[in-house]
Amino acid sequence: MTMPHSIQIIATVLFALAIVHTFSVPVFARLAHKHGPHAGLWHFLSEVEAVFGVWALVLLIVMALIAGVPTAVEYMDTRNFTEPLFVFAIMVVAASRPILELVGGLVRALARMIPVPRQLATYFVVLTFVPLSGSLITEPAAMTLAALLLRDAYFKRPGHSAFKYMTLGVLFVNVSIGGVLSAYAAPPVLMVAQTFGWDSAYMLTHFGWRAVIAVLFNAFILTLINRKALASGEVETHRGVTQDAPVHVPPLTILIHIVFLVGIVVFAHHPAVFMGLLVLFIGFCHAYKRFQSPLMLKEGLMVGFFLAGLVLLGALQKWWLQDLLGSLSPTVLFWGSTALTAITDNAALTYLGSLVDGTTEAWRYMLVAGAVTGGGLTVIANAPNPAGFSILKSSFDNETISPGRLFIAALGPTLVAAALFLY
């Protein structure tokens, strides 16, 4: 549908306000903790997961007032909400106790194979093996698993903010680039793979080996920086992945959970199918409660709400973003894509880039490489980031994560990824 230009301009202004709101979350969190008469409102505004959904609602109200209610309804009906629904579904399944115990066991097994102290090896494996597994199980699933493992094992103790922010920065960057070994797992790759004619073999040979080196290097340097705190047990909670406890969930239950996880991944483009599988999964978990932890339904819904708002606001940025991308040379495009990803969703960015006519293979590579490189800089840069944000925010001061400190923490790993993808 054709949207009046005035609404497009308003949508861009609201999009900018949403970004400002995202970076202002710590301010609202501090106001909420003062317990004044409007503490509830400040607390709501401090929820990052609600930001884009709230501003998307403002957009729909403005659209209804200017162009009419039918236009606003039609606009919503013509948006594709598959990604928000998929992230919600995969978060719920991946965060289940049987899947966590399976992944925790695999991490401990891999850590024992590395000839360094267990504390260092486990931390390193969580930041490498799990993000890279995103190329198989999708990035949202990898983010969910890694965030839960880190939360239970390293983020429970109060303080240690520097350690937590450095870990979060590497996690976000490594997940963003860790899914490029295949053509279906990373949202910015998935949006363009068919249009560009890229299959998993192409991704592995052009992107994959670079991503593996960057992921390993980022995790190695961070482990080296935090070696004293890790070796002394200063940041370890002796829970979850760092605890060598036997698996209490029956193997058959784990297998059934894997089947549900694989099914949702396979039918990721078919919301009617994977949402049906999710309902069946919830029913199975209810039938065997003794093998389950509380399902992450609330967190998953909030993340889905965030991404749905991003879809509604981001779809109307084409009028300025597409022309901007098309005017850039490949090298400039790489840095431009990396920077723009920080203030837009990288999947939306690559999709808009795929609509530009007459592009070269080098231009396409730089577009996608820049998009995945910058995917860890902010919470909105990559679709899985809100999932990690939602899981880990309670471990930080005032139960919120500073977007500015996250940006600084992710800058170093981002430059490492840039060096690998650019040269």
Confidence at residue 2, expressed as pLDDT on a 0 to 100 scale:
67
CA 85, CA 274: separation in Å to the nearest integer? 9
Tell me the C-alpha to C-alpha distance, in Å, between residue 116 and each of 111, 120, 231, 353. Answer: 9, 7, 10, 44
Confidence at residue 244, expressed as pLDDT on a 0 to 100 scale:
54
Confidence at residue 224, expressed as pLDDT on a 0 to 100 scale:
96
CA 116, CA 399: separation in Å to the nearest integer? 34
Give yes or no: residues 33 and 99 share one domain: no
Q: Which amino acid is at 376?
A: G
Confidence at residue 57, expressed as pLDDT on a 0 to 100 scale:
95
Give yes or no: residues 402 and 259 share one domain: yes
Give yes or no: residues 20 and 128 share one domain: no
204 secondary structure, DSSP code:
I
Give yes or no: residues 363 and 410 share one domain: yes
Secondary structure (3-state) at 113: coil
Question: Which residue among 52, 77, 102 closes a domain?
Answer: 77
The series of mean pLDDT values per 10 residues for the chain, 423 residues long, is: 82 92 85 79 84 93 94 93 92 92 92 92 96 94 95 88 96 96 91 90 95 97 94 80 67 95 93 96 93 89 90 87 85 94 89 84 95 95 93 87 94 97 90
CB 87 within 8 Å of CB 387: yes
Question: Which residue among 77, 94, 127 closes a domain?
Answer: 77
Confidence at residue 384, expressed as pLDDT on a 0 to 100 scale:
92
Give yes or no: residues 73 and 87 share one domain: no
Give yes or no: residues 122 and 44 share one domain: no
Tokens standing for residue 255: 């297998």
Give yes or no: residues 67 and 115 share one domain: no
Give yes or no: residues 227 and 272 share one domain: yes
233 secondary structure, DSSP code:
T
Tokens standing for residue 63: 């659209």
Q: What share of residues in the chain are helix, strand, coil (percent, to 5)?
A: 75, 0, 25
CB 188 within 8 Å of CB 386: no
Question: Which residue among 42, 77, 112 closes a domain?
Answer: 77
- The set of residues, in sequence order, having a beta carbon less than 8 Å from that of 421 and lying 6+ positions away, is 177, 207, 210, 214, 334, 369, 370, 372, 373
Count of H-run helices and E-run strands, the chain: 25, 0
Confidence at residue 125, expressed as pLDDT on a 0 to 100 scale:
96
247 secondary structure, DSSP code:
P
Confidence at residue 1, expressed as pLDDT on a 0 to 100 scale:
65
N-to-C CA span, the chain:
41
Give yes or no: residues 311 and 387 share one domain: yes
- pTM of the entire structure? 0.90
Cα-based angle 358, 360, 365 (whole degrees, multiple of 5): 130
* Closest by Cα among 315, 243, 247, 262 to 80: 315
Full residue range of the structural domain in which residue 403 is found: 82-422
Burial class (CB in 10 A: 0-12, 13-18, 19+), 273: middle
Give yes or no: residues 35 and 156 share one domain: no
In which residue are the tokens 């819904």 written?
301
**Total number of domains constituting the chain:** 2
Q: Is the dihedral of CA 389, 163, 102, 373 positive or negative?
A: positive
Give yes or no: residues 60 and 86 share one domain: no
Give yes or no: residues 134 and 270 share one domain: yes
**Taking the C-alpha atoms of 242, 248, 250 and 256 in order, what is their torsion angle to the nearest 10 degrees?**
-50
* Closest by Cα among 224, 205, 106, 213 to 166: 224
